[in-house]
Amino acid sequence: MNAYLASVIENVKTKHANEPEFVQTVEEVFSSLEPVIERHPEYEKADLLNRLVEPERMFTFRVTWMADDGTWHTNIGYRCQFNGAIGPYKGGLRFQKNVYPGIIKFLGFEQIFKNSLTGLPIGGAKGGSDFDPAGKSDAEVMRFCQSFMQALYRYIGPDIDVPAGDMGVGGREIGYLFGEYRRLKGCWENGVLTGKGFSYGGSRIRPEATGFGAVYYLENVLKHFGEDIKGKTIAISGFGNVAWGIVKKAHELGAKVVTLSGPDGYIYDPDGIVTDEKINYMLEMRASGRNRVQDYSDKFGCEFHAGEKPWGVKVDVIMPAAMQNDVHMEQAKQIAANHIKYYIEVANMPTTNDALKFLIDQKDMVVAPSKAVNAGGVATSALEMAQNSERLVWTAEEVDKQLHQIMNTIYTMSVEAAERNGLGYNLVAGANIAGFERVADAMMQQGIF
């Protein structure tokens, strides 16, 4: 490997030994950049990479809130404004018990390249809290969100930093966060958050966008191999908002999703999640807060596999859509043994680096990386920002058309970037390179700081 790249990775490993997810994503992105770094000696001269791995700003804040029983609780809030070279910081908030700086930094770092790939003017950021939403009442969630925003509102804004949802933060949380922002600022800056309800500035198709975009990306891959999405079977993990969007669009295009998973295990529905009743039930399951996918098999009478993941099921396409490090080496081997041709990542960093490398090296397998495949979510957030600043509302058709175009462009740009760098048809390296090139160029033009 290029000596400069290797030295920056070493530096990150030493400095962030206690943040393994962040080290993992830096290694993954940088493993694709060798040809670019060799071609641009000025990057090393300006020490671009050591600057890139350091967030421009990252802070924590105290979030104290009252539970329904009158007891007080204190959580940690985070915001990492990782890179603002190409636009206002943009990225989701994750509320989950396991949130710590390593998770926020890995997500923020991924977000830089993902946002760059969309071609839209958005920098990379992420935030969240170790608040555990499981089992909390609406009133508790509201008080938590209000307290969270009381600490955060000074540091965000439509031209500064625009948070959105991620795991544990959906329409309900965004509503409470926006309400508190508006109350504190006393002004209607609805471009300050995305994923809002449609009644107060949210965009059509934003709830569906990540899943829809992933399927549009998949269609591009299938087309490259002369195949049609119609009739394909798909195994996915997760059963949240992203999974719902995939299921909906896959069904619309004649494919069928046959698995869903949760912390309790996975369901296998060989008929496919293809009726309105089944698709809508996914929303009900998520809203119930029970966080159990077994409810689906109880209702529709299909198989449930307790404590397992759906990676042993024989299908045409696998789409991990739940969380980071969902697929390890052992499962990657199983996927390869089953001769699954299409491995399409959807969740942020769902594959460990060794498993990802193993899958890429399989001769008859095509691997697509999450930072490209799931970029339709944040891209549609940028379309929401555009509508808010124009004081306009676009129709679902308009938004969907733009989303579709953006996904096609992301795919094409990735293919071309890999080819240009002599890497052949390599969607993973292509996405890393294309995402990096735009940010690197912007950073170089703006001077060293």
Q: Is 278 in the site for ligand 2IT (CB under 6 A)?
A: no
For 264, other C-beta atoms within 10 Å of its C-beta total 17
Which range of residues in 36-44, 88-96, 222-230, 243-251 is near ligand 2IT by CB under 6 A? 88-96
Instruction: Name which position in 36, 85, 142, 164 contacts ligand 2IT (CB under 6 A).
Output: 164
Binding mask 113-152 for ligand 2IT (x = CB under 6 A): -x--------------------------------------
Angle between the N-to-C axes of helices 427-445 and 396-420, in degrees from 0 to 180, rounded to the nearest 10: 90
> In the bound complex, what is the minimum distance in angstroms from residue 377's beta carbon to ligand 2IT?
4
**Residue 8, CA distances (Å) to 141, 152, 283 in order:** 41, 32, 44
Instruction: Name which position in 377, 421, 426, 430 contacts ligand 2IT (CB under 6 A).
Output: 377
Query: Cα separation of 323 and 346, whole Å?
Result: 9
Instruction: Provide the sign of the torsion angle of the four alpha carbons 218, 219, 222, 224, taken in this order.
Output: negative
Residue 109: which H helix or E strand, with range? Answer: helix 101-117
Which range of residues in 84-92, 130-138, 180-188, 273-281 is near ligand 2IT by CB under 6 A? 84-92
Buried b (16+ CB within 10 A) or exposed e, 23-50: bbbbebbbbbbbbbbeebeebbebebbe
> In the bound complex, what is the minimum distance in angstroms from residue 114's beta carbon to ligand 2IT?
6
Q: Is 435 in the site for ligand 2IT (CB under 6 A)?
A: no
Q: With contact defined as beta carbons under 8 Å apart, do 421 and 427 qualify?
A: no
Binding mask 317-356 for ligand 2IT (x = CB under 6 A): -------------------------------x--------
Q: Is 108 in the site for ligand 2IT (CB under 6 A)?
A: no
Instruction: Name which position in 84, 91, 201, 265 contacts ligand 2IT (CB under 6 A).
Output: 91
Binding mask 253-272 for ligand 2IT (x = CB under 6 A): --------------------
> 114 vs 143, which CB is nearer to ligand 2IT?
114
Quick one: tokens of 222?
């299938």
> In the bound complex, what is the minimum distance in angstroms from residue 212's beta carbon to ligand 2IT?
14
Q: Which residues are catalytic?
A: 126
> In the bound complex, what is the minimum distance in angstroms from residue 379's beta carbon to ligand 2IT?
8
The residue number whose beta carbon is nearest to ligand 2IT equals 92
Cα maximum dimension of the chain: 62
SS3 315: coil
Tokens 């269609």 belong to residue: 219
Count of residues that bind ligand 2IT according to CB under 6 A: 11
> In the bound complex, what is the minimum distance in angstroms from residue 276's beta carbon to ligand 2IT?
26
Query: Cα separation of 13 and 361, whole Å?
Result: 25
How many residues does the structure list for the chain?
A: 449
Q: Is 194 in the site for ligand 2IT (CB under 6 A)?
A: yes
> In the bound complex, what is the minimum distance in angstroms from residue 91's beta carbon to ligand 2IT?
5
SS3 239: coil
Query: Cα separation of 54 and 443, whole Å?
Result: 13
Which range of residues in 86-94, 251-259, 296-304, 335-343 is near ligand 2IT by CB under 6 A? 86-94
Query: Cα separation of 13 and 147, whole Å?
Result: 35
Rg of the chain in Å (alpha carbons): 21
Q: Is 96 in the site for ligand 2IT (CB under 6 A)?
A: no
> In the bound complex, what is the minimum distance in angstroms from residue 115's beta carbon to ligand 2IT?
8
Q: What is the DSSP string of 125-141?
A: EEEEES---TT--HHHH
Q: Which residues bind ligand 2IT (CB under 6 A)?
A: 90-92, 114, 164, 166, 194, 348, 377-378, 381
